[in-house]
Structure 1
Amino acid sequence: MRGMMGGMGVLIRVARAALAVLFVVLGVSAPGLAWAADDDDRERLMFRIKDPRITESSGLATSPTHRGIVYTHNDSDAGPVFYAIGPRGTTRATFRLSGAEARDWEGMAATVDPESGRGVLWFADIGDNMDGAWSDISVYRVLEPTRMRNATLPATRYRFRYKDGARNAEGVMVNPRTGRLYIVSKEFGGSVYAAPRRLSTTKPNVLRRIGTAPLMATDAAYAPDGSGYVIRTYFSANLYDASGNSLGRLTMPAADQAESITYTRDGTAVLTGSEGPNSPVHRVPLPAHLRPTPTPTPAPARRSTPSTSPAAAASPAEGISPAQLTLGVVLTLGAIAIITFIARQAR
């Protein structure tokens, strides 16, 4: 029995390795460009989320107005609630959204309202693990709280439908220069979808595909100055400029289930989180040549003339080539065969 269990352990490790290779092979968005931090500027653990209520931290956003505050929320079935986390990982305040529901919250974003200067938080109820179970999805907009104390906040709901059919998604981002919202689908061959320039609260807003996204994208975020954006996957983070051109991959710390990403307030690094109790939040510096210059952030552009970027949209290198597709299928079938064999042996 011990020998058989040892053999199963080997097979499980082989299956996991095959799946890891599959994700890495198909998740590459810019071959040959993989950035890692210098020896004196590596990623570091910022804190662990200490609140026992936060067991599935699925979204992350740096506060644009409260220094040292990071917002997060749980995954599905947790209610329309989000948390303000301080620099030591403790909860500073808990907020509930009125006029909102939480079917499957998967991501969030933070921007600044160009007219009032108030922070704006966006919560994306966009998960659909059945790939078509929901006729429409929702994103909620709420003004950022001015004080760090428990409160209920009014939310504005925007409903969305994909022009090319329902799908699962976990990434949401908002361009700080234009105010335009984007959804990034989580699929074998993911896509970036742009929302209309002006959002309606009375009817579903149509999301149109404008580019490709890496395999199994779990989150996305725009840089605070609008100079580019990042898409998180289970194994790395892919960087893009404001036009959707791929800049390469950023090495990420190991995580049980990489679910969230956001930029730091100064845009020189990203913060990335994971699901699970006492989950860690890491700070990963951007390559020096991709960090913003120390100049004031440009004033937001008029909403009447926003760009449709990201991209007209993504470079061909972001897609999945026939060779990658073939290798992916082979690895997937191999992993399935191993897992099936293990299940039969267990029975």
Structure 2
Amino acid sequence: MGDVVIRTAAGVIAVFVVFVPANAAFADDGEKKLFTFKDARITESSGLAVSPTKEGVFYTHNDSSAAPTFYAVGSDGRTRATYRVQGAQARDWEAMAASKDPATGRGVLWFADIGDNLDGAWPNVSVYKVMEPESLRDATLPAVRYRFRYADGARNAEGIMVNPVTGRLFVVSKEFSGSVYQAPKKLRTDRVNVLRKVGTAPIMATDAAYAPDGSSYVIRTYFSATVFRPSGESIARVSMPELKQAESIAYTRDGKGLLTGSEGVRSPVYQVALPAAALPAAGPSSSPTHRPKTTASPSARPVAAAEGLSARDVLIWLAAAAGASGIIAAIARRTR
């Protein structure tokens, strides 16, 4: 189930709840519940990342929490430590990513305050860079704040990922016609960084993540997940477990599986095996960076936009959009 939000220039918002049928195509093969969050404070787990340096440690944060806080959770679902990000805001934290500092080997955590349900409510969005804490005990951590704006106008986004080979940051928008945006190679703190579109994304993407070896990345939607090569070519569609509200996606440390979670109190985290075509050693190696959209294969990009949805899923979205159009038209007539 997920919320479909339709917007108009007049600011009218229509919200539809999309119910996924119980017999939707979610395979049980290679799927298992890894743990359930035990901490009552984790009510809206929106971002999920595997610790790049600590075995059996996972990080998460709430969506639009009252405070810029994240949690280190063990493989039993119990919170090992709680961290506050010093000087950060939490307008609408939607995603996080984890990487390694190539110079020191130390873990780096990225927190994306990129939610914008009005597609332009904020003049810019922020991503906070935090060095992974060395010890699992409560602490307040310093952060570096990077501000961003989109080259083609403001939009809502819920996905962030970092290429482990290049260190490049990417943002994935949550739209009916979603996009992958690339950050500058060198991020600046003294000015707003510009995000430029380099590819398309599945409809209404809720999260994204890069594989640990940089050979692929995955984009999650309410219905499923699609794995891509760094060039933007789709590799495989992966069925996801049925969740209350599918929000997060991450790779396992060995890159052979995916982790996915949901909002809600005591929400579960599932591990899903990747198909053979999407495993780290499968297929020819790819360039570690996105190609500009002008050089992409003519057939690869349009297909990518529709990946992650079956024919039934598309009909659900079209029905929601059609219903929204009728409601918006009625409201418009009343407000003339």
TM-score category (smaller protein): 0.7 to 0.9
Larger radius of gyration, structure 1 or 2? 1
SS in 1 for 2:303: helix
What is the deviation of 1:329?
7.3
Tell me the residue number matched to 1:259: 247
SS in 1 for 2:80: strand
Pairing 1:131–2:119 present: yes
Tell me the residue number matched to 1:194: 182
Conserved 8 A contact 1:35-1:248: no
Pairing 1:166–2:166 present: no
Conserved 8 A contact 1:141-1:157: yes
Residues in 1 aligned to 2:182 and 2:121: alpha-carbon distance in whole angstroms: 21
Residue 153 (structure 1) aligned to one of 141, 147, 161: 141
Residue 178 (structure 1) aligned to one of 166, 170, 178: 166
Tell me the residue number matched to 1:315: 301
**Unaligned runs of at least 5 residues, structure 1:** 1-14, 25-33, 299-304, 341-347
Letter in 1 for 2:304: E
TM-score by length of 2: 0.82
Tell me the residue number matched to 1:343: none
CA deviations on 1:50-82 (whole Å, 9 max, x unpaired) are: 100000000000000000000000010331110
Pairing 1:122–2:110 present: yes
Letter in 2 for 1:318: A
SS in 2 for 1:318: helix
Letter in 2 for 1:218: T
Residues in 2 aligned to 1:333 and 1:95: alpha-carbon distance in whole angstroms: 40
Conserved 8 A contact 1:36-1:287: no
What is the deviation of 1:289?
3.6
Residues in 1 aligned to 2:95 and 2:253: alpha-carbon distance in whole angstroms: 18
Conserved 8 A contact 2:160-2:171: yes
What is the deviation of 1:318?
2.0
SS in 2 for 1:319: helix
TM-score by length of 1: 0.79
SS in 1 for 2:148: strand
Conserved 8 A contact 1:187-1:217: yes
Conserved 8 A contact 1:35-1:287: no
Residues in 2 aligned to 1:238 and 1:270: alpha-carbon distance in whole angstroms: 11
Residues in 2 aligned to 1:287 and 1:35: alpha-carbon distance in whole angstroms: 14
What is the deviation of 1:204?
0.2
Conserved 8 A contact 1:35-1:249: no
Tell me the residue number matched to 1:28: none
Residue 262 (structure 2) aligned to one of 245, 250, 274: 274
Conserved 8 A contact 2:26-2:242: no
The alpha-carbon distance between structure 1 residues 173 and 132, as it changes in their structure 2 partners (threshold 3 A), is same
SS in 2 for 1:58: strand
Pairing 1:74–2:62 present: yes
Residues in 2 aligned to 1:310 and 1:60: alpha-carbon distance in whole angstroms: 28
The alpha-carbon distance between structure 1 residues 238 and 333, as it changes in their structure 2 partners (threshold 3 A), is closer
Tell me the residue number matched to 2:43: 55
Conserved 8 A contact 2:128-2:146: yes
SS in 1 for 2:90: coil
The alpha-carbon distance between structure 1 residues 328 and 270, as it changes in their structure 2 partners (threshold 3 A), is closer
**Unaligned runs of at least 5 residues, structure 2:** 1-15, 329-336
What is the deviation of 1:331?
1.6
Conserved 8 A contact 2:230-2:289: no
Conserved 8 A contact 1:228-1:241: yes
Indicate the structure whose relative CO is greater, using CA pairs within 8 Å and at least 6 residues apart: 1
CA deviations on 1:101-139 (whole Å, 9 max, x unpaired) are: 111000000000000110000000000001110010000
Residues in 1 aligned to 2:17 and 2:65: alpha-carbon distance in whole angstroms: 29
What's the C-alpha RMSD, in Å, of the aligned pairs? 2.9
CA deviations on 1:282-320 (whole Å, 9 max, x unpaired) are: 0001013422249xxx9xxxxxx9734586555221235
Conserved 8 A contact 2:226-2:235: yes
Taking only the aligned residue pairs, the percentage that are identical comes to 60
Structure showing the higher helix proportion among its residues: 1
Letter in 1 for 2:301: S
Residues in 2 aligned to 1:92 and 1:329: alpha-carbon distance in whole angstroms: 40
Residues in 2 aligned to 1:260 and 1:51: alpha-carbon distance in whole angstroms: 18
Conserved 8 A contact 2:228-2:236: yes
Tell me the residue number matched to 1:302: none
Residues in 2 aligned to 1:66 and 1:184: alpha-carbon distance in whole angstroms: 27
Residue 214 (structure 1) aligned to one of 202, 206, 213: 202
Count of aligned pairs between the two proteins: 300
Residues in 2 aligned to 1:310 and 1:108: alpha-carbon distance in whole angstroms: 24
Structure showing the higher strand proportion among its residues: 2
